[in-house]
Amino acid sequence: MKRLFICFVLLMMIVVVGCNNQKDDAEPAPEESQKTLTIVWAEWDPANYLQELSKDFTTETGIAVDVVQIPWPTFQDKVFNTFVAKGDIYDIVIGDSQWLGRNSVGGHYIDMTEWINENIDVASIYAPAMTAFAEYPKGSKKYWALPAEVDAAGYVFRKDLFEDPKEMEAFQKKYGYALAPPTTYSELRDIAEFFTRPDDELYGIATWYSKEYDGITMGFQQVMWSYGASYGDPDTYKVDGHINSEDAVKALDYYKDLLKFAPPDAPNYYWSETLDAYNAGKVAMAMNYFAFFPGVLDPEKNPTSHDKSGFFVAPKGPKGHYISIGGQGMSISEYSKNKDIAKQYLKWFMQKPVQEKWAKLGGFTPLKEVLESDTFKNATPYNEAFAASFPYLRDFWAVPQYAELLAECQTNWSEAITGIKTSKEALDTIAQKHEEIFTEAMKDSTDTE
């Protein structure tokens, strides 16, 4: 038995030595690794812009920056699983606004309130962006992030169709007003109906109806708000009577009706599908986050209308004007071994010249002065519409239970638009489920106290 034990110890030693040798080969020296800041973000153009921008930080400080990009469908899972494992592979996380509640309460983001108040001019940042991407609980002035990429849902339209004299005349004749980018949901419906010609393989609109992640929720919520309904009272977490109000039913009926003017696969559409549908020339108008619009202007991706595209702000409804916020904030991981460098990077990132370059590269700046400048508005064909969308931005719940709340919205709204449930039934179910989730959450927090 003693010999067996010696054999086992020897075997373990070989394994350990082998592992150590492998580590020596694969990893740089400890000093080198300390000088690399790792930022994790979703795989999309803004992450490439950030990698490019960060070269200036490296030049100034000698600290390398690696922007790790994770494909959208697995972005949340991968980041959250790293947090659960308390992994230190990411120093800065550029995460969705909805993540704030869960990751601040869960202890995965560091509390940056004091540091931000001392080092960042909060007044220079667009206030709704600070609220959406940095503050939790809302209105508490407790900060867990700084806005990185501030995005909004907007629309792209085919100028060649909208400015065709024959189309303009026909539209005027049918609807009694001039064909132009819509400013209300009623006009949006008329235009979508007008351009729906299945025999010509042309449809009026492509917007978000997918059950994938937060697809239909981000598409429908801005209609719901603009029709006068809301998710609930953020102070009391009372939901019944808000999300299933008469206004909400009208809004959902409207959104379902709009589906008639969308391509056949539209219930599966989220940002990539709407972009593809527009670029393939299937639709006259398409909704998407502004950050995806570079794909519309790329002649390789959009040979049909890359030079014939215009952009407009999401329309207003009968009782208000609200737009779904997109984009993400920069938080520092609790498990990072480079927290000081991460703070140094955030401070550098929020400087005006850096933000100007960020905007020039294609990023959407949260800095008011840069955002409101003519340089920014004229930088791309869609920046003006983006800047005009800013005052109307609103967000989904950012509480720790957001995923459960979101799942109920996704499932029930998907059931409503495909006729499984009526609008009223779907909204009543959401109201009931949301009330249950909040009641349970409040009970849990009381038990903890």
Partner 1 sequence: MQTNRFSRGMSDYQLKMAFIMPTMILLILMNIFPLLWSLYLSFHDYEASMQKPPVFIGAKNYVDVLTDPDIWGYFRTTAYFVVVAVSAQFLIGFGLALLLNRSFPSKGLVTTLLLLPMMLSPVVVGIFWRFILASDNSGLLNYLLSPILNLPVINTIFAPPIEWTTDPKIAMLAVVIVDTWMWSPFMMLISLAGLSAVPKSLYEAADVDRASTWFKFRWITLPLVSPLLLIALLFRTMDAFKMFDIVYVLTREGGPGRVTETVSMNLYRIAFRNYDTGKACAMAYILLIIIVALSNIYVKYLNRVKGEE
Binding site for partner 1 (CB under 8 A): 1, 3-4, 7-8, 76-77, 80-81, 83-84, 102-103, 105-108, 201, 210-213, 215, 263-268, 270, 282, 400-401, 403-404, 407, 410-412, 414-415, 417-421, 444, 448
The residue type at 390 = F
Token digits of residue 73: 């469908």
In the bound complex, what is the minimum distance in angstroms from residue 421's beta carbon to partner 1?
Answer: 8
Residue 197: strand, helix, or coil: strand
In the bound complex, what is the minimum distance in angstroms from residue 2's beta carbon to partner 1?
Answer: 9
In the bound complex, what is the minimum distance in angstroms from residue 418's beta carbon to partner 1?
Answer: 4
H or E segment at 154? Answer: strand 146-158
Nearer to partner 1, 236 or 448 (CB): 448
User: Rounded to whole angstroms, how far apart are CA atoms 96 and 317?
Assistant: 26
In which residue are the tokens 């071994």 written? 337
The H-assigned helical ranges of 27-98 are 30-34, 45-61, 72-84
Nearer to partner 1, 288 or 411 (CB): 411
In the bound complex, what is the minimum distance in angstroms from residue 337's beta carbon to partner 1?
Answer: 18
User: Rounded to whole angstroms, how far apart are CA atoms 101 and 332?
Assistant: 14
- The C-alpha angle 236, 398, 249, rounded to 5 degrees, equals 65
Nearer to partner 1, 24 or 200 (CB): 200
User: Rounded to whole angstroms, how far apart are CA atoms 76 and 45?
Assistant: 18
Nearer to partner 1, 267 or 294 (CB): 267
Nearer to partner 1, 97 or 365 (CB): 97
Nearer to partner 1, 72 or 348 (CB): 72
Nearer to partner 1, 1 or 123 (CB): 1
Strand partners, 36: 64
In the bound complex, what is the minimum distance in angstroms from residue 325's beta carbon to partner 1?
Answer: 20
User: Rounded to whole angstroms, how far apart are CA atoms 193 and 275?
Assistant: 20
User: Rounded to whole angstroms, how far apart are CA atoms 227 and 236?
Assistant: 22
Residue 8: strand, helix, or coil: helix
In the bound complex, what is the minimum distance in angstroms from residue 274's beta carbon to partner 1?
Answer: 13
CA dist list (Å): 152 to 90, 127, 366, 385, 441: 26, 15, 12, 10, 30
In the bound complex, what is the minimum distance in angstroms from residue 396's beta carbon to partner 1?
Answer: 14
